[in-house]
Amino acid sequence: LISPGTLYGSLSKMEKDGLIRFIREEEKRKIYEITSLGIEVLQKEKERIARLYRTMQEEQE
């Protein structure tokens, strides 16, 4: 489990970095939306992890 402090710290950093944006609050819950920059960064991270996985698989063969 992730602590609330870690979660909210991460959300705050992602918002400051322009990866997500605050939309509204509903029943004491904050709603965020991923930005176009966030989508771009997410795609690059997915590609990086896929490359890492392929490399690990090749090393095990």
pLDDT at 12 over 90: yes
What's the confidence (pLDDT) of residue 22?
Answer: 97
Q: What is the mean pLDDT of residues 40-48?
A: 98
- pTM recorded for the entire structure: 0.80
User: What is the rounded average pLDDT for all residues in the chain?
Assistant: 96
Q: Is 30 helix (H, G, I), strand (E, B) or coil?
A: strand
Distance CA 49, CA 23 (A): 29
What's the confidence (pLDDT) of residue 61?
Answer: 83
pLDDT at 54 over 90: yes
Q: Where are the alpha helices (DSSP H) in 1-61?
A: 4-16, 36-60
